[in-house]
Amino acid sequence: MWSIYQRELQSFFYTPLGYVLLATFLLLNGLLLWIFPSGWNVLEAGFGDINLFFELNPWLFIFLLPALGMKSFSEEFKAGTIELLLTKPIGIPTLISGKFLALMSILLIALSVSFFYFLQLNHLLLENNTLDWGVFYGSFIGLFFLATTLAAISLWASTLVESAFSAFLIALFISVFHFYGWNQIADLLTNFDLYSLLKSIGLQYHYGELNKGIIRLSNVIYLVLQTLFFLFWTMLNIKNKCQ
């Protein structure tokens, strides 16, 4: 698994695309949180609200992770290297795990750099005021588990087609719908039970609960199961294509 992990990280940082994606993520975070007038602008909010960061970043992840994962398997199928990889003493689960961990490592690098924004916000607060770090840690955990699900969706999408751009579009559509779409459909219903059911299917509902700083095991389990579901589906797609 570690050889696959290292190979993925090297391929990411050996191309300009990797640096462009990371730079774009950090630049958009900085511009939307501090410069551009928007609903996420910290300075316009008038108070030190770290929730603005956690409201913004799911949308950035919805674009970033499909872009990071679009080549994961689509390029392997296109170049015919997937069969070569599977002839080595590694199984499909190991191959998926290596690529998944590489995606999450890149994401953690981006998040660790963006930690600077919290320090800057804490510095701007009035004396005797501090950020609510309890809410920060709870929200960060929610954001991390949401990112694992989006990363799994991106890997799954890359097994469907040989075009990296098509994989990006599929992952983007599924991510937007799974995060935002269920809520929109639920709002059209008048039956409360159906409304509650559809709302609870969406990622936004469970992430929003964690974003309050209260870590409920049910919300964490839901996001973990979603991640495992798409990783399992990824494995099935690879098996079917390699038969």
Report residue 132's pLDDT band, with 50, 70 and 90 as the boundaries: low
In 10 A of CB 101, how many CB atoms? 17
**pLDDT per position as a tens digit, 57-78:** 899 999 999 999 998 899 888 8
- Is the per-residue pLDDT at 164 higher than 80? yes
Share above pLDDT 90 across residues of the chain, in percent, rounded to a whole number: 34
Question: How far is 155 from 49, CA to CA, in rounded Å?
Answer: 33
233 exposed, middle or buried (CB, 10 Å; 0-12, 13-18, 19+)? middle
Amino acid (1-letter code) at residue 200: S
Token pair of 163 as six digits: 């075009």
Domain boundaries, the chain: 2-242
Question: How far is 176 from 65, CA to CA, in rounded Å?
Answer: 12
Question: How far is 237 from 67, CA to CA, in rounded Å?
Answer: 20
CA 56 to chain CA mean position, Å: 12
In 10 A of CB 218, how many CB atoms? 9
- Is the per-residue pLDDT at 26 higher than 70? yes
Question: How far is 199 from 26, CA to CA, in rounded Å?
Answer: 31
Token pair of 92 as six digits: 């499909």
In 10 A of CB 98, how many CB atoms? 21
pLDDT of res. 45: 63
- Is the per-residue pLDDT at 102 higher than 60? yes
Give the chain's length: 243
In the three-class reduction of DSSP (H, G, I as helix; E, B as strand; rest coil), residue 46 is classed as coil
- Is the per-residue pLDDT at 152 higher than 80? yes
In 10 A of CB 80, how many CB atoms? 8
Amino acid (1-letter code) at residue 107: L
